[in-house]
Chain A
């Protein structure tokens, strides 16, 4: 292993993670510098709903595509979302596995295949998302350079992650070095971009769920045409 690869796998990643942690801390501090809206009124809605249930439901909504019309009616889009995010998770995990637990991969070709399948699928979805962002009139109208760049960055990163999974540095280090440089860039860039949405997700869903639970709206309840009450629980 060359010194450059070692540097990108270790020092570069550590510095990038440190920068990300500092910026995230500042972001959260900034968020908490705003006052909290308070609900003084007594709760409304069904007796079995409350803020706590609302919060849990709100956090879990993303894993329950049947609860929201927007995900329920677009199963293909929802599947893309799931695979894309699994791909992101695996590509990040990879940046820890390779430097700190390489044996996990070298001893397990099945794991390599599974990770490659997901990251490869995420790459394809990244391409689809980029095309959608360019061609869909609604999405194009709202897209900023950051939106395009974030999708391109992740898609390119997936491509290098895909080839980096086997960790075959003996056969050439270019792919691995590029993957780790991209990972470091990704970590530093994320807090400044829309990719930081996962930082806000727990908070936005927490407050929305708390309010909707207090008001008896969450968990969503509906009656479908097929009959029968669906509680979305």
Chain B
């Protein structure tokens, strides 16, 4: 080794590895025989044939090398003989980051295919945790972890927004069933069930909250939702940060205990279920006085106990089921969703391979938050896309919000004619209610005010499918016709073709960035007059837009955005700052 000076971060990673190791991990690290049997179990390998750097054993070896060099005496005495290697520089840490975050979703498929029982996913998570502890991580991981530490949920949903959404859903249900007795109880003490959810449901998919509430109501359940400590997701699972994992889990457990809840029900989310049900107590080092279960089990129980009636003829489209890795390979939750599915839907097609052998949605392990690896992720998604296509189904069901996002993204990328939904939506749709029923989902009554953008065509440009869905819904609810573009190239093509009245533009996108797209629009003869509203989660990039020689954008909003903010800004652009072609021409 030419350079024996070790960076502070490298020093800490090596030192902290010793505190993370346990017997399970050590046997996994020491027991690999380099047989290569794991290679073809990984979707990254299958989608990148011939590139050994994606092989689970290769990736594992990058961590194993360090372990051997510092914690296994064969590697300390004969490093060259067993290829052990220490860490010295921050660049090496960055290389390790690329592997443990960017080339593995911790899906555990290789673990169940290893003849030696080497659980690579577990020590890959350990390596993530070590890097996070010295601040080496993808930006998205840092942002989400910060939100979960500081705000209490990983999407930065504020308490008032959460409560407002619950109130909104409650009103929708009351209106749908014309029944003011339907409630979404908040902080009710001593209930049988405390229901915890994923912040994504509040932010992008409140329909699932309403559907669950509907099911609880008609099952006659004594239930509540906590006003705080309601997020059952846990970014500690993805970041490998056990402290965060323990803290988030304790927050949820303590709130449930404070409310005197008899059972904590976890809504459909793979990593949330695993983190809360199977890992939280271990990270937090706590015992709990209540039971926990997935809402899948809850819904299944209601049907079996005849507490709700369902009619499977209401879900007749051909559906298939995708197993979340965390549910199937780390918690054994794979039969109950199928049992439930067969009760609420009449046309189910199994996917192969399935259950614990199913392939990852490719959005797991926090991959959806790491935009720097998007291209890599979508390339590896080819395997899942082929698997989905082979089913011939038009709908793919999954019990995981992360999988919803991952699958939605790959379905769009590979142009599959499929939709993704969850079991709660199907159960809700199949629910037989004696009163007048209007299903599925929540339909917001259109008022005169809601039609204010009627006749306006708006192009929404963003690489996050969830976000596009969210703001498209808001704009469409207000009468606009929305065109969606998921990257810069597509945006330019659609702008030329559709000639929208306004465009919303994200700055940070893979491929052609928002700044490049902005430049293009502002300098293109046909498109320069279209007003642009920047919507970004990276305010630090604002200057990239405003310091350009071109005309500044007509609107600018920071993410996360509220409905009110969006509508006000769009209204303002149309009414006041609306691009008056003459003034624009003058400026030019």
| A221 in contact with B333 (CB, 8 Å) | no
Are B36 and A142 interface neighbours, CB within 8 A?
A: yes
Judged by a CB distance under 8 angstroms, whether A139 is at the interface is yes
Q: Are A197 and B33 in contact (CB under 8 A)?
A: yes
In the complex, which residues of chain B have a beta carbon less than 8 angstroms from the beta carbon of A223? 350, 352, 354-355
B369 within 8 A of A: no
Report yes or no: A215 in contact with B36, Cβ–Cβ below 8 A: no
The reply to whether the CB of A70 lies closer than 8 angstroms to some CB of chain B is yes
Could you tell me the distance between the alpha carbons of A233 and B82 in the complex, rounded to whole angstroms? 37
Contact between chains at B331 and A222 (CB < 8 Å): no
Residue in A69, A217, A224 whose CB lies within 8 Å of B113: A69
CB contacts (< 8 Å) of B436 on chain A: these are none
Complex interface residues of chain B between 322 and 337 (CB less than 8 A to chain A): 328-335
Asked if B190 is at the interface (CB within 8 A of a chain A CB), the reply is no
Chain A positions 190-213 with a Cβ under 8 Å from a chain B Cβ: 192-194, 197, 200-201, 203-205, 207-209, 211-212
Please report which residues of chain B, range 76-90, place their CB below 8 angstroms from some CB of chain A when the two chains form the complex: 78, 80-83
26 cross-chain CB contacts under 8 A: A31-B26, A37-B282, A40-B281, A44-B333, A49-B332, A61-B115, A69-B353, A70-B113, A71-B115, A77-B37, A81-B115, A141-B53, A141-B58, A142-B36, A192-B74, A197-B116, A201-B116, A201-B117, A203-B27, A208-B119, A216-B332, A217-B112, A220-B355, A223-B352, A223-B354, A224-B352
Interchain CB contact under 8 A, A207 and B27: yes
User: Quick check: A70 and B117 within 8 Å, CB to CB?
Assistant: no
Cβ-defined partner of B335 (8 Å) among A36, A46, A70, A193: A46
The 6 closest A-B pairs by CB, nearest first: A216-B332, A45-B332, A141-B52, A200-B31, A204-B27, A208-B117
Query: Using a CB–CB distance below 8 Å, which chain B residues touch chain A?
Result: 21-28, 30-41, 45, 50, 52-53, 55, 57-58, 61, 73-74, 78, 80-83, 111-119, 277-282, 285-287, 291-292, 328-335, 350, 352-357
Encoded as 1 (CB less than 8 Å from any B CB) or 0, chain A from 60 to 81 comes to 0110000011110110010001
Contacts of B22 in A (CB 8 A): 34-37
- What separation, in Å, do the CA atoms of A113 and B356 have in the docked complex? 44
* One of A205, A207, A216 near B331 (C-beta < 8 A): A216
B469 CB, nearest partner CB in chain A, Å: 32
Q: Are B330 and A217 in contact (CB under 8 A)?
A: yes
> Are B23's CB and A139's CB within 8 A?
no
Interfacial chain B residues near A221, Cβ < 8 Å: 334-335, 355-356
Contact of A143 with B by CB under 8 A: yes
Enumerate chain B residues within 8 angstroms of A44, measured Cβ to Cβ: 277-278, 331-333
Contacting pair A68 B281 (CB below 8 A): no
Residue of B nearest to A216 (CB): B332
Contact of A40 among B32, B34, B287, B355 (CB under 8 A): B287
Contact B24 A37 (CB under 8 A): yes
Using known A-B contacts A58-B117, A61-B115, A209-B117, determine if residue A215 contacts B55 with beta carbons closer than 8 Å. no
The distance in angstroms between the C-alpha atoms of A197 and B357, with both chains bound, is 25
Instruction: Tally chain A residues at the interface, Cβ within 8 Å.
Output: 62
B278 touches A207 (CB 8 A): no
CA distance A36 to B73 in the complex (A): 20
Q: Which residue of A lies closest to B38 (CB)?
A: A70
Whole-angstrom distance between the Cβ of B431 and the nearest chain A Cβ = 27
Q: For residue A70, which residues in chain B have a CB less than 8 angstroms away from its CB?
A: 37-38, 40-41, 113-115
Contact present for A145 and B26 (CB under 8 Å): no
| In the assembled complex, A146 has its CB within 8 A of some CB on chain B | yes
Q: Tell me how far the C-beta of B298 lies from the nearest C-beta in chain A, rounded to whole angstroms.
A: 14
- With a CB–CB cut-off of 8 A, which chain A residues contact B73? 30
A-side contacts of B280, CB under 8 Å: 41
Q: Is A42 an interface residue (CB 8 A)?
A: yes
Contact of A204 among B28, B329, B353, B356 (CB under 8 A): B28
Q: Is A45's CB under 8 angstroms from B357's CB?
A: no
User: Nearest Cβ distance between residue B408 and chain A, in whole angstroms?
Assistant: 26
Q: Tell me which residues across on chain A come within 8 A of B41, comparing CB atoms.
A: 69-70
Q: A224 to B351, alpha carbons, bound, how many Å?
A: 9
Q: Contact at B58–A68, with CB atoms within 8 Å?
A: no
Does the CB pair A137–B50 fall under 8 Å? yes
When A31-B23, A40-B287, A197-B31 are in contact, do A225 and B352 touch as well, CB less than 8 Å?
A: yes
Given A70-B41, A70-B115, A142-B57, A32 and B23 touching (CB < 8 A)? yes
CA distance A39 to B333 in the complex (A): 17
CA distance A176 to B197 in the complex (A): 70
Bound-complex Cα distance A225 to B291 (A)? 36
Q: Say whether A103 faces chain B, with CB atoms less than 8 Å apart.
A: no
A207 to B279 Cα, complex, angstroms: 16
Q: Is the CB of A145 within 8 A of B24?
A: no
Residues of chain A lying within 8 A (CB to CB) of residue B292: 41-42
Contacts of B80 in A (CB 8 A): 145
